[in-house]
Homo-oligomer: A and B are copies of this chain.
Amino acid sequence: MMTRLKVYADRMSQPSRAVLLFCRLNRLDFHEIKVDISKRQQLSPEFKEINPMEKVPAIVHGNFNLFESHAILIYLATAFPGIADHWYPADIHRRAKIHSVLDWHHSNLRHGALTYVVNTVLAPALGRPLNPQAAAEAEKVLLSSLSKLENIWLKGDGAFLLGGFQPSIADLSMVCELMQLEVLGEKDRSRILTPYKKVLQWIEDTRTATNPHFDEVHNILFKVKRKFQEQRLREANSGPEPNNMGGSSKM
């Protein structure tokens, strides 16, 4: 018998959440191992043995290890028996479209959202300075990606990507990405997302279709969101504190 699946993840990482959500939804027998990015644990020699790229998520399944969240989602959907077809359809045409949207995700929605959030909010907690110019450029990519999501990928009849009536691994990956915008200030997040009605509805539909797991996996994000909100409030009342959310903070 194969040893139990190990998932190395930090729930503050959006692709980590997508993988954890998939495992929980499909009741896989797995063990979640926290790799705390705010403590640079992904750079440890032990983790480098698991993933030489020093990134989460990664999995170990028996003597097989794998990184890159899309590759992991596809592997899990095909390696474990009894996974419902809608997650990663066997039909080659539907499967090809899932690959297409997942490929598109990398240099578009992910690139825009990740770079924007890091350079607007998260960088200090990762030991880097905020970069307003990088944030401004990332915002363009993010808005263009949201427009394509709204008008192309969510064009079909169903509530999910590619017109699906049930979510696929692409819905998990991309909704988890957009959930990262929760850590932005409410005004900022609303300015970015409000014009995209279908996108907002799709996030809500994916959440509903995957709860209670969705909220459980995102719980840490909601906590960080509140922490940032309180911090912004304090700053608005008394000016910025030195070193807030700095390297030693526990996100």
Contact = CB atoms under 8 A, between A and B. Distances in A.
B152 A52 contact: yes
Give the interface centre of A79, A102, A152 by most chain B CB atoms within 10 Å: A102
A107 B104 CA distance: 11
A196 interface: no
Interface in A53-75: 53, 64, 66-72, 74-75
* Count class of interface residues, chain A: 20 to 34
A99 B110 CA distance: 17
This chain: copies in complex: 2
Contacts of A66: 96-97, 100
A106 B79 CA distance: 25
Given A75-B92, A92-B78, A96-B74, A68 B152 contact: no
A104 B103 CA distance: 10
A151 B70 CA distance: 23
A177 to B, nearest CB: 13
Contacts of A111: 107, 111
A34 interface: no
A116 B79 CA distance: 38
A216 to B, nearest CB: 26
A140 interface: no
Contacts of A106: 103, 106-107
B79 A99 contact: no
Contacts of A102: 71
A148 B94 CA distance: 33
A100 B68 contact: yes
Contacts of A97: 66, 71
Give the interface centre of A102, A106, A151 by most chain B CB atoms within 10 Å: A106
A93 interface: yes
A235 B100 CA distance: 43
Q: What 9 pairs across the A-B complex have the smallest Cβ distances? A: A106-B106, A71-B99, A68-B103, A71-B100, A75-B96, A68-B100, A52-B152, A70-B103, A71-B103
7 contacts: A53-B148, A68-B104, A72-B96, A75-B99, A79-B92, A107-B110, A111-B111
